[in-house]
Amino acid sequence: MPTVHLALYDTLADWEFGFVAAGINNPQYQREPGSHRIVTLGVSRAPVRTIGGLTLVPGVTLDDVDPTESAMLVMPGAQSWEDGNVEFVDAARRWADAGVPVAGICGATLGLARSGLLDDRRHTSNAPEQLTPTGYAGADHYVDAPAVTDRGVITAAAVAPVEFAREVFALLDIYEPAVLDAWWRLYGLKDPSGFYALAADR
């Protein structure tokens, strides 16, 4: 079963990965129900504490995982991205070099910039100024959009967890296009017709 690895570190932003985790771990509506799973990934197995005060325990560590055996690395934002998470900066590069998609939202885009992955890809973040201190070479490729995918790298702003999830689902191809469209109408556009379309697909 393809495994999507969800990075965990202290001050993790709870609201930024919920749609991704629920969509991947809940087989309902999937093209092949149960085709993917989320496994939490840490530098160690020590518990981390989210911004919301929840305690999460990594299921595996970076030393346990070969990127070629992963379907995607998902990195949520966290206050610790301002000057930390060096191990996940390196991990993002290793995943991408192995041809495996990487997704980063909010502060995690800082890590992607530091890794060099945004130097030649279209990308976004909370604001272009947030990425400037990294010294990266990709400022000309910045896009003012909630979420962007380019050559296996997804970036998103903190206020766009639904758009982030849509890009992740599309890249993993876990939903039929009509189902993903209905999901987006419901959660992204707040359109009740999306709910009825999903209900009809059961």
Q: Which residues pair with 42 in a beta bridge?
A: 61
Buried b (16+ CB within 10 A) or exposed e, 167-193: bbbebbebbeeebbebbbbbbbeeeee
Q: Which of 106, 117, 180, 182 is catalytic?
A: 106
Measured CA to CA in angstroms, residue 82 lies from 31, 85, 110, 113, 154 at distances of: 38, 9, 8, 12, 19
Mark whether 160 is an active-site residue. Answer: no
Neighbour-count burial of 26, counting CB atoms closer than 10 A to its CB (0-12 exposed, 13-18 middle, 19+ buried): exposed
202 three-state secondary structure? coil
Whole-number Cα distances in Å, 5 to 37, 41, 121: 9, 6, 22
Residue 126 CB neighbour total at 10 angstroms: 18
Q: Which residues participate in catalysis according to the annotation?
A: 106
